[in-house]
Amino acid sequence: MTSEKIFIVEDEAIVAESLNDHLESLGYTVSGQASSGEKALLKISKNKSDLVLMDIMLKGKMDGVETAKQVSSLYGIPVVFLTAYSDSETLKRAKLVEPFGYLIKPYKVRELHTTLEITLYKHRMEKIIKENERRLDTLLRSIGDGVITADQNGLITSMNPIAELLTGWSESESKQKNMIDVMKLEAKGGNSFMHDLFNQTLKGERVSCVLNDDSILVSRKGKKNFIDLSAAPIQNEDNQTTGVVFTIHDISSRKKAEIDLFEARQLLQNSITPREKEILQMMVAGSTTKEIAFDLNISKRTVEAHRQHMMTKLNAADMTMLVRLAITHKLVPM
Here the CATH number for the domain that contains residue 304 is 1.10.10.10
Last residue of a domain, one of 255, 287, 312: 255
Number of domains in the chain: 3
**Residues 196, 299 within the same domain:** no
**Residues 24, 126 within the same domain:** yes
Distance CA 138, CA 19 (A): 42
What separation in angstroms does the CA of 122 have from each of 127, 184, 271, 296, 311?
A: 9, 44, 10, 29, 13
Give the per-residue pLDDT at 141. 43
**Residues 320, 231 within the same domain:** no
Query: Does any domain span residue 19?
Result: yes
Query: Does any domain span residue 106?
Result: yes
**Residues 41, 165 within the same domain:** no
**Residues 242, 297 within the same domain:** no
Check: pTM over 0.75? Answer yes or no: no
Letter string b/e over residues 46-57, b meaning 16 or more CB atoms within 10 A of that residue's CB: eeebbbbbbbbb
Instruction: Judge contact between 29 and 51, C-beta under 8 A.
Output: no
Last residue of a domain, one of 114, 139, 164: 139
**Residues 124, 9 within the same domain:** yes
Give the residue numbers spanning the domain of 115: 5-139
Query: Does any domain span residue 261?
Result: no
Here the CATH number for the domain that contains residue 246 is 3.30.450.20
What separation in angstroms does the CA of 21 have from each of 30, 48, 153, 328?
A: 9, 20, 80, 36
Here the CATH number for the domain that contains residue 41 is 3.40.50.2300
**Residues 148, 135 within the same domain:** no
Give the per-residue pLDDT at 28. 92
**Residues 15, 133 within the same domain:** yes
Give the per-residue pLDDT at 87. 56
**Residues 23, 118 within the same domain:** yes
**Residues 178, 277 within the same domain:** no
Query: Does any domain span residue 71?
Result: yes
pLDDT mean values, one per 10 residues, the chain (334 residues): 81 88 90 88 87 85 84 86 70 69 82 88 85 63 74 91 91 91 77 81 70 74 88 86 89 80 73 86 91 92 90 82 82 78
**Residues 149, 131 within the same domain:** no
Query: Does any domain span residue 263?
Result: no
Query: Does any domain span residue 262?
Result: no
**Residues 132, 160 within the same domain:** no
Give the per-residue pLDDT at 214. 58
Query: Does any domain span residue 264?
Result: no
Query: Does any domain span residue 333?
Result: no
Q: Which parts of the chain are beta strand (E)?
A: 5-9, 29-34, 51-55, 79-83, 101-104, 145-151, 156-159, 184-186, 207-209, 216-218, 224-235, 241-250
Last residue of a domain, one of 103, 119, 139: 139
Distance CA 5, CA 120 (A): 10
Distance CA 120, CA 1 (A): 14
